[in-house]
Amino acid sequence: MTHLPTEFPDFGLTPEQRRQAVRTHYWERPGMDGERGEIWCYTDRFSYRAGETVALHVSSTAPIFGITIIRDGGSETKLFEKAGIAARWQDTPDQCSVEGCGWEASFEFGIGDDWPSGAYRVTLTADGRDGQPAHCHHLFIVAPQLGQKPGRVLQIAATGTWLAYNTWGGSNHYEGITGPNRDQYARMVSTQRPWCRGFVVLPREAPRVPLEVAVPPRTVPRYPHMEWAFATGHSKKYASSGWASYDSHFFRFAERSGYAVDLASQHDLHFSPEILDGYDCVVFVGHDEYWTWEMRDAVDAYVTSGGHAARFAGNFMWQTRLEDEGRRQVCYKYRARAEDPAYRGGDVTRATNSWEAPEIGRPGSATFGLNATRGVYAGWGGCAPRGVRGFPVYRPEHWAFAGTGIYYGDLLGADSHVYGYEVDGLDFELRGGLPYPTAASGAPDGLQVLAVGMASQVEESADIPLKDQFLGDEDGRFTAETLFGEASDANLDKVKRGNGMIVNFPRGKGEVFHAGSCEWVAGLLRQDAMVERVTKNVLDRYLGKT
């Protein structure tokens, strides 16, 4: 088993800076690098197909820049390189996070017919004012052409969640500079802005969210990922979302393991649901929290007609809407019942609230078998900080565990810490030592619970002073109000104890496998043989190889 250090890592911050790292709102913005100079960019869309043209919007303190484009997969392949491209500094609206930057296009290039589907990492380099080069990283997706794809896997990148967490310009769906006091999260966020630092590339030593520390008793929680971000100039949210922290690890693992993998964005899924046609297996990974009604329709229809959905992901929480041809994502979240127009004469089923809100009538379990509101936090803050790091297995005889040697009661993926930081679950009961969803859980017919771990929606400990709680009970009370109409102590008590599950169930002619944890990809990143074997078992079954 992994032996954990007993002390938190030190990134050279003072106690006050450590508190700032967690408690304050900081973000990337034009001019932040001051005298050093800087360069930023975004593309006009998240994804393209072969033959289409990419418009690159650049703002730079230097008059020229160079560009390199690399396909980021099982190996890195350089597809494009050019130097001496003209650039200029472009004014940026104060509310660019909501409205978009509005920069003019600086450079255009075509997607070659020989560019395979995947993630393409853009690096821009310009001269800084201090004699050092200034860099910018961006990412776009080349989606597959339509048609039959025998033996190929389609991975759907969690672009809705990337967009929700992107701090560039000051606001996202969590914190922000919107509202009369410039202190509110944004209900709407734009795609027309750069990705924040840490979403595209990360050094290997960047901490993940779950704690890799054996927390001594009575310890005030620390958040190494936020401290590292503060110390190194990365986004506070780098570890919560993005290609670098999540989606990339499955894509690279699958290609290195010999699977043929294509990549598409959730925006492709929304506007072109036919992109699923022809695939035997579609995969969703990492932190995959924000979905539209149309995206769910596409997946439900695909599975019912015989497709196989493998979800190695957690936190299926929020319904969103897309506006302005997909350039703006809307999610009122905690303020939905008070502010979302869907509650005032609109279609309330499309309200941008939690999927489990009764008025929406479409809990996450109806698509993927599990609900976010019955899971949530594990392995960070005061939420099970010393809890299980892997999934406790109850049904080791299931086909997903073939060849692992795992036994009843074993932990799957504990060494690589696959359980956390947000997990999805169901209300369940134990009978004869085995878990079964309760009649009121909303579980689909035929669902089998393969593994169950504990989670919490509340930091509940006499050892942690209120001033040191980061999570507190706010999410728990929101869930209580969402499900039961009132955020009372009695209703909080009904929801504060959660769980994370691995489940499997049939739907129509198809099938769904769901390992409900954001951190499953950590097992692939850290080359955990047992986690790799389960992943391959699922892919092989769904591709018809077994």
Longest Cα pair distance anywhere in the chain, in angstroms? Answer: 71
The label of the residue with tokens 């997946």 reads: 299
Task: Indicate whether 447 belongs to any domain.
Answer: yes
DSSP annotation of 327: T
Cα gap 287→307, rounded to integer Å: 22
pLDDT of residue 46: 97
Render pLDDT for 187-225 as a digit per residue (tens, 0 to 9): 999 999 999 999 999 999 999 999 999 988 888 889 999
The label of the residue with tokens 């905690």 reads: 334
**244 has a pLDDT exceeding 90:** yes
3 state SS of 276: helix
The label of the residue with tokens 């201090």 reads: 130
Which residues lie closer than 8 Å to 67 by C-beta, 6 or more apart? 56, 80, 81, 82, 83, 85, 107, 122, 123, 124, 125
Which residues lie closer than 8 Å to 91 by C-beta, 6 or more apart? none
Closest to 368 measured CA to CA, from 291, 438, 454 = 291
What average pLDDT score do residues 241-249 get? 98
Cβ-contact 163, 269 below 8 angstroms: no
pLDDT of residue 459: 87
Domain that holds residue 490: 280-317+354-543
Question: CA angle, 300 as apex, 295 and 302 as ends, to 5°?
Answer: 95
**471 has a pLDDT exceeding 90:** no
pLDDT of residue 329: 98
Render pLDDT for 359-412 as a digit per residue (tens, 0 to 9): 999 999 999 999 999 999 999 988 998 999 999 999 999 999 999 999 999 999
What average pLDDT score do residues 27-33 get? 93
Question: CA angle, 369 as apex, 366 and 371 as ends, to 5°?
Answer: 85
The label of the residue with tokens 């699922």 reads: 538
Cα gap 190→234, rounded to integer Å: 20
Judge residue 282's burial from the number of C-beta atoms within 10 Å of its C-beta, 0-12 exposed, 13-18 middle, 19 or more buried: buried
Across-strand partners of 437?
428
Of the two residues 118 and 216, the one the predictor is more confident about is: 118
- Torsion angle, CA of 417/420/425/431, rounded to 10 degrees? 40
Cβ-contact 534, 329 below 8 angstroms: no
Provide the domain count of the chain.
1
**2 has a pLDDT exceeding 80:** no
Cβ-contact 516, 425 below 8 angstroms: yes
Phi-psi region of 442 (alpha: psi -120 to 50; beta: other; left: phi over 0): left
Q: DSSP for 517-543, please give it.
A: BTTHHHHHHTT-HHHHHHHHHHHHHHT
Task: Indicate whether 235 belongs to any domain.
Answer: no
Closest to 25 measured CA to CA, from 246, 186, 207 = 186
Question: Residue 394 belongs to a domain with what CATH number?
Answer: 3.40.50
Judge residue 511's burial from the number of C-beta atoms within 10 Å of its C-beta, 0-12 exposed, 13-18 middle, 19 or more buried: buried
Render pLDDT for 75-113 as a digit per residue (tens, 0 to 9): 999 999 999 999 999 999 999 999 999 999 999 999 999
Query: Is the sign of the CA dihedral 179, 182, 185, 186 positive or negative?
Result: positive
Cα gap 407→269, rounded to integer Å: 38
Instruction: Kindly give the interhelix angle for 224-232 and 15-23, rounded to the nearest 10 degrees.
Output: 100
Cα gap 184→250, rounded to integer Å: 34
Query: Is the sign of the CA dihedral 181, 183, 188, 191 positive or negative?
Result: positive
pLDDT of residue 507: 98
pTM metric for this prediction: 0.98
**464 has a pLDDT exceeding 90:** no
pLDDT of residue 462: 67
Length of the chain: 546
16 — phi, psi (to 5°)?
-70, -40
**460 has a pLDDT exceeding 80:** no
**161 has a pLDDT exceeding 80:** yes
Average pLDDT, the chain: 96
pLDDT of residue 246: 98
Task: Indicate whether 531 belongs to any domain.
Answer: yes
Closest to 292 measured CA to CA, from 253, 250, 258, 320 = 320
Task: Indicate whether 184 belongs to any domain.
Answer: no
What is the Cβ-side half-sphere exposure of residue 59, based on CA atoms within 13 angstroms?
A: 18
Task: Indicate whether 164 belongs to any domain.
Answer: no
